[in-house]
Structure 1
Amino acid sequence: MKMQYTLKTLSALVLGLGTAGIAHSAGFQLLEQNASGLGNAYAGSAAIGENASANYFNPASITLLPGMNVSAGVVGIKPNFEFSDSGSTTPTTFGGKPIGGLGGRPAGGGDGGNAGAWGVVPNAHFTWQVSPRTWLGLSVGAPFGLMTDYEKGWAGRYHSEKFDIQSININPSIAFKATDTLSVGVGLNWMQLEADYRKAQFVPSFPAGMMAPIALPGGDLQARVKAKGDAWGWNAGILWQATEDTRFGLSYRSRVKIDADGTTTVSNRNIPTTVMGGAMANPLLAQLPLGAHNASASIELPDSAIFSVVHQLNDRWTLLGDVAWTGWSSIPELKIVNTGIDNATLDLRFKDAWRVSLGANYKYSESWTFKGGVAWDQSPVQSDAYRPSALPDNDRYWVSLGAKYNFSKSTSIDVGYAHLFVKNTSVNNHSAEATSGVLKGDYKSSADIIGVQFSHQF
């Protein structure tokens, strides 16, 4: 008989959306659109207006930048995801049918090693004051991203083995100084993302008489999804200079709905091609959907809002604060439509999340400014029952340090470093027990982030 075979491909799009290697705001959002804010844990991001990268965080804040400005940088991120298995199992169905004692067994394999890998997030920004009250801006970066890479054959291989995601976001904007103290700005966003996702698919061994007159050895298939899509969104912001020393910023980014198309490729990993001592071809392989299949999915990336304050305490100290919100509930589940194989749905139940950060700058001299910051970053994952292995996410705390050096009044360089402390994270994901088994265990996670930013005013 021809078997219908369900492949959980959509996790690639759930966790994937973004630049390779990272995801270190909570969820898979990337705050690292500059390195100049890294030293402050990105506190004050929608009101600081420090260089041309202000265009990304709040288009209204580019009115703080006279003339023409450029800023470009790179941020390197090294996450650590170390899993300890405590009872992961194999799937309980095969070809859409229950397999009784042949499924739900211990998954075997190791803990997967450290699934974190170095990622690099480049950024580039430009602003131009075209009249006394009008500014133009342009930002290029990657606002979402994730990569996890486990050892092949680990205990959670039926959930995921590797995600490798890349994205690009191009954000032109325009800003107006409505009054001497109030500015407004709006922008458009074109985002493209590409995902490469790999996982194992369980095939049980069958005793003689169940599917054929002879016993059929099982094993694992390899499933790989490559998908790509693009879409448009928008952003807007306001900036209010409340007093000579205090400034407030408020910015918003819209949801972006991306329709992604690609291919699901299924190949044989370790199922014997022959049986009976090599006397005949394994008839089980003819029942499996090996080869390439068209795949498509839609995902609505979350909207977000930032409220920031910057206060000039005195000639040397500047205080910064942020409260940010991300509407992760736009992703309650993901469904992928396959051609020739069953569709699949991943139950995520993401919740909206908050982020709070505080920072300070100390102007040591005309050349040197030193930075510090802390933050609390809430995860969108509801509980361990819905925590996917490709995003073993949890609430985290940031501790950041940085420095800015002015070569001249128009040229500067920033360096920043942050360490992210992530709560020990349990996972007991049985939401896809039928097709992927149960993933059960604990994660120890953390991250280190380092970046450099060059800025110049013409």
Structure 2
Amino acid sequence: MKKAMLKTSLGVAVALASSQLFAAGFALNEQSISGMGTGFAGRSSAADDASTVYGNPAGMSRLKRQQVTVGGAAVIAKTDISGPGSNLGGETDGDMVPTVGVPMGYYVKPLDDNWSVGFGVYVPFGLVTDYGNGDAARYWGKKSHVEVITFQPTVSYAFNDKVSIGFGPTFNRIKGELGSNLPTPRALGGTDGEVKIKGDDTAVGYNIGILVQATDHTRVGLTYHSMVDYKLEGKTRVSTPLIGPFSGSKFDATLKIKTPESVDLSITHELDDNWTLYAGSTWTRWSRLKDITVQNDVPAPLAAQFGTISEEQNWHDTWAHAIGASYKVNKEWVLRAGFSVDQSPTNNENRSPRIPTGDRKAVSFGAGWSPSDDMTIDVAYSYLWEEDTKVNLASSTKGTYQAKYENKAHGLGASLTYRF
């Protein structure tokens, strides 16, 4: 029972700390559809539209007209699960990730030749998995639903036509809901119990960047996304006859977690009037996640087991690399393509069915259509595949769970930019 409670509570924190359904762990990459078309290569140096508020706030200095960019991406994931599953029974049919949407919106207004202001609303982290009551993984992570929504007011300053800087504080609202089943002995009815935990918090971080026009045809961008320190407060509800009169009770729960800082270095090179090349690398400090401590406000009889619980994670820092290109067909049309590779921060010993991910690769395609100087419609498609990963867990209360995961995903995105 102690381990069951531990895994469920820690699941919220792990999910928050790992969010790229299309980047390291489960952090989300989809903050720009124009960037999605090149595999997010050149994310901090392109500054093609108002989504540069996220990619590099210094890039607002390149936008000479007031503009709005709004859009969204859909993530369609597919997972093949094989292996023994659980010794306590259950299916291993995969498809535990439903189709999800990732919205975004940005606004930029130049004030003069030097100053620009703007804001963005986007989703930097998110996780949704739902195995269902009959799945073999139900005791280790039946349901996970975590999301972070960020609002970022931003300002940029151009020192001259070569160098600009930008800064924006980020106000981040996080909420999560996690659930797991609990096995119950036949002597007590045999029907699965359940653990549910919900929590939320608001925390502040920042996004800062510099953009340098190194030559007439080459730009270099550097962006730093800060660590965000959360303290989730919520309730843990346990329903099982194993805890007698406390079954069905809700206990106050506190989870402290830090989502990691990252650094993005990108280059954009205009090869000629038609071709533009992009490259970029992102380092993320996932090694912050050494362990997770959960504080539960429980009655005295449960304090020894559930008062303070800690578990090691030992995640490691990751690198992601991307290359891309765009081709300007004519005044109205631009075509894009990109390829990216991304490491997973997890390790074989601690990997769980909530986050069964490995190193990944993705190929992307996109297009931009500008029917007038005032409007651009961008679309993008990405296909992602991961190396096969294994989950191998054992518990005296939840049995064993052994499975191999083969993860793939399709991403579809569209955005509209309107200039005033």
Is contact 1:171–1:189 with CA below 8 Å preserved after alignment?
yes
CA offset at residue 17 of structure 1?
6.4
Matched, 1:121 2:86: no
After superposition, the Cα gap between the structure-2 partners of 1:443 and 1:26, relative to the gap in structure 1 and judged at 3 Å, is: same
After superposition, the Cα gap between the structure-2 partners of 1:112 and 1:222, relative to the gap in structure 1 and judged at 3 Å, is: farther
> Where does residue 63 of structure 1 map in the other structure?
61
Aligned counterparts of 1:4 and 1:255: Cα–Cα separation in 2 = 31
TM-score normalized by the length of structure 1: 0.86
Deviates more, 1:144-153 or 1:356-365: 144-153
Deviates more, 1:34-43 or 1:414-423: 34-43
CA offset at residue 220 of structure 1?
2.0
Is contact 1:17–1:165 with CA below 8 Å preserved after alignment?
no
Unaligned segments of structure 1, at least 5 residues = 89-105, 206-214, 272-283
How big is each residue's C-alpha offset from its partner over 1:360-406, in whole Å with a ceiling of 9 and x where there is no partner? 001111111110000001111122x2111111111111110111000
Aligned counterparts of 2:33 and 2:397: Cα–Cα separation in 1 = 42
1:246-265 pair list within 5 angstroms: 246-265=218-237
Aligned counterparts of 2:43 and 2:136: Cα–Cα separation in 1 = 41
Aligned-partner residue type, residue 15 of structure 1: A
> Where does residue 392 of structure 1 map in the other structure?
356
> Where does residue 368 of structure 1 map in the other structure?
333
1:32-431 pair list within 5 angstroms: 32-86=30-84, 88=86, 106-205=87-186, 215-268=187-240, 286=244, 289-340=247-298, 341=302, 342=306, 343-383=308-348, 385-430=349-394
Aligned-partner residue type, residue 116 of structure 2: W
Q: Please give the secondary structure, in 2, of the residue aligned with 1:146.
A: strand
Larger radius of gyration: 1
Q: Please give the secondary structure, in 2, of the residue aligned with 1:286.
A: helix
Q: Please give the secondary structure, in 1, of the residue aligned with 2:46.
A: coil
Q: Please give the secondary structure, in 1, of the residue aligned with 2:5.
A: coil
Q: Please give the secondary structure, in 2, of the residue aligned with 1:132.
A: coil
Is contact 1:398–1:420 with CA below 8 Å preserved after alignment?
yes
1:429-440 pair list within 5 angstroms: 429-430=393-394, 433-434=395-396, 436-440=398-402
Is contact 1:7–1:201 with CA below 8 Å preserved after alignment?
no
Give 1 or 2: higher helix fraction: 2
Aligned counterparts of 1:49 and 1:229: Cα–Cα separation in 2 = 31
Is contact 2:268–2:279 with CA below 8 Å preserved after alignment?
yes
Deviates more, 1:366-375 or 1:336-345: 336-345
Is contact 2:85–2:137 with CA below 8 Å preserved after alignment?
no
After superposition, the Cα gap between the structure-2 partners of 1:435 and 1:285, relative to the gap in structure 1 and judged at 3 Å, is: closer
Is contact 1:115–1:149 with CA below 8 Å preserved after alignment?
yes
CA offset at residue 290 of structure 1?
2.7
Paired residue total: 411
Q: Please give the secondary structure, in 2, of the residue aligned with 1:15.
A: helix
Aligned Cα RMSD in Å? Answer: 2.0
CA offset at residue 328 of structure 1?
0.8
How big is each residue's C-alpha offset from its partner over 1:295-328, in whole Å with a ceiling of 9 and x where there is no partner? 1111000000100000000111000011111111
TM-score normalized by the length of structure 2: 0.93
CA offset at residue 86 of structure 1?
2.0
How big is each residue's C-alpha offset from its partner over 1:89-134, in whole Å with a ceiling of 9 and x where there is no partner? xxxxxxxxxxxxxxxxx22111153111111110000111112111
How big is each residue's C-alpha offset from its partner over 1:389-424, in whole Å with a ceiling of 9 and x where there is no partner? 111111111110111000111210000000001111
Aligned counterparts of 1:425 and 1:324: Cα–Cα separation in 2 = 23
Aligned counterparts of 1:132 and 1:422: Cα–Cα separation in 2 = 45
Identity %: 31
> Where does residue 441 of structure 1 map in the other structure?
403
Is contact 2:17–2:260 with CA below 8 Å preserved after alignment?
no
Aligned counterparts of 1:239 and 1:82: Cα–Cα separation in 2 = 42
Is contact 1:184–1:239 with CA below 8 Å preserved after alignment?
yes
Aligned counterparts of 2:247 and 2:5: Cα–Cα separation in 1 = 10
Q: Please give the secondary structure, in 2, of the residue aligned with 1:175.
A: strand
Aligned counterparts of 1:26 and 1:421: Cα–Cα separation in 2 = 13
